């Protein structure tokens, strides 16, 4: 079974600074997708960024980028120029290539942004 | 374009009762997945429906069931409620949810409290 681990229950960052959230996963599959979701106090999960395992290039979405290390099964999220609106729970998630929309989530990291 | 709509937003039930939660996916989306979110267990996959058929199922007891209608709307039912069923139940829809990589869009969830 696949597992996703987020070792940082809480992180804090100063506004305008950079922060990196860690995620490791375990799978025997060779094709899969990895995601970072944001859950603000409104509770709605919002997709931040996604990475296809077959792509060597790290995904980037504006201020958000990932460091995908397939051999190490590591998938960290870097948030640059942190903003107050980035404060939320962040979840790393895994989806096998042929598993429909069955996501396996990590335990989450609560990110606090200090003004 | 309307997002994923979950009703009701909040629900209080008594132990032993049953409950039905509803999820209306984004128009045109055929895959609906359900997740349970609790402080202790985190986000756990319940089941996924695609074209009225259950395609994937998580590791939950038979008290948890679901169905999908021809218009892709989905309901989940929990019978003989236990205190431990208190959770945020999230629904996610996607266009295909098959091998094709499509994003899952989440609703705001239903907060179920069992007393």
How many whole angstroms separate alpha carbon A94 and alpha carbon A64? Answer: 18
Q: Which residues of B touch A54 (CB under 8 A)?
A: none
Res A99: pLDDT: 77
Interface residue B31 vs chain A (CB under 8 A): yes
Q: What is the mean pLDDT of chain A?
A: 94
Q: What confidence category does residue A2 fall into, taking pLDDT thresholds of 50, 70 and 90?
A: confident
Q: Over 60: is that where the pLDDT of B34 sits?
A: yes
How many whole angstroms separate alpha carbon B104 and alpha carbon B55? Answer: 16
Distance from CA of B104 to the nearest CA of A (A): 7
SS3 state of residue A54: coil
pLDDT digits (tens, 9 = 90+) for A18-67: 999 999 999 999 889 999 999 998 889 999 999 999 988 999 999 999 99
Q: What confidence category does residue A100 fall into, taking pLDDT thresholds of 50, 70 and 90?
A: confident
How many whole angstroms separate alpha carbon A75 and alpha carbon A68? Answer: 5
Strands (E), chain B: 5-7, 10-13, 19-24, 31-38, 42-50, 53-57, 64-68, 74-78, 87-94, 105-106, 110-114
pLDDT digits (tens, 9 = 90+) for B62-100: 999 999 999 999 999 999 999 999 999 999 998 865 555
Interface residue A43 vs chain B (CB under 8 A): yes
Res B99: pLDDT: 52
How many whole angstroms separate alpha carbon B77 and alpha carbon B60? Answer: 12
Res B100: pLDDT: 57
Interface residue A90 vs chain B (CB under 8 A): no
Res B21: pLDDT: 98
In chain B, positions 58-97, which contact chain A (CB-CB < 8 Å)? 58, 88, 90, 92, 94, 97
Q: Which residues of A touch B44 (CB under 8 A)?
A: 105
Q: What is the mean pLDDT of chain B?
A: 93
Interface residue B100 vs chain A (CB under 8 A): no
Beta-carbon separation of B31 and A45 below 8 A: no
* Of A111, A98, A49, residue with least CA distance to A75: A49
Interface residue B5 vs chain A (CB under 8 A): no
Burial A99-113 (b: 16+ CB within 10 A, else e): bbbbbbbbbbbebeb
Q: Which residues of A touch B99 (CB under 8 A)?
A: 97-98
Percentage of chain A surpassing pLDDT 70? Answer: 100
How many whole angstroms separate alpha carbon B76 and alpha carbon B69? Answer: 12
Res A101: pLDDT: 82
């Amino acid at each position: 079974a696949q597992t996703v681990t987020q070792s940082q229950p809480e992180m804090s960052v100063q506004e305008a600074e950079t922060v990196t959230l860690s995620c490791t996963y375990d799978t025997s599959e060779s094709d899969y997708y990895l995601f970072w979701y944001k859950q603000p106090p409104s509770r709605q999960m919002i997709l931040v960024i996604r990475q296809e395992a077959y792509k060597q290039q790290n995904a980037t979405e504006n201020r958000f980028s990932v460091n995908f290390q397939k051999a190490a099964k590591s998938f960290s999220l870097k948030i640059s120029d942190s903003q107050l609106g980035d404060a939320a729970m962040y979840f790393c998630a895994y989806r096998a290539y042929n598993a429909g929309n069955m996501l396996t989530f990590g335990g989450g990291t609560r990110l606090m942004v200090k003004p | 374009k309307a997002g994923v709509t979950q009703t009701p937003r909040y629900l209080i039930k008594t132990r032993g009762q049953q409950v039905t939660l509803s999820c209306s996916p984004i128009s045109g989306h055929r895959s609906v997945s359900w997740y349970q979110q609790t402080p202790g267990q985190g986000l756990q996959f319940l089941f996924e429906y695609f074209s009225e058929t259950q395609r994937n199922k998580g590791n939950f007891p038979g008290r948890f069931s679901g169905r999908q209608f021809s218009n892709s709307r989905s309901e989940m039912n929990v019978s003989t409620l236990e205190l431990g069923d208190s959770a945020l139940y999230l629904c996610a829809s996607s266009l295909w949810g098959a091998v094709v990589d499509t994003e899952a869009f989440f609703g705001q969830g239903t907060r179920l409290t069992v007393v």
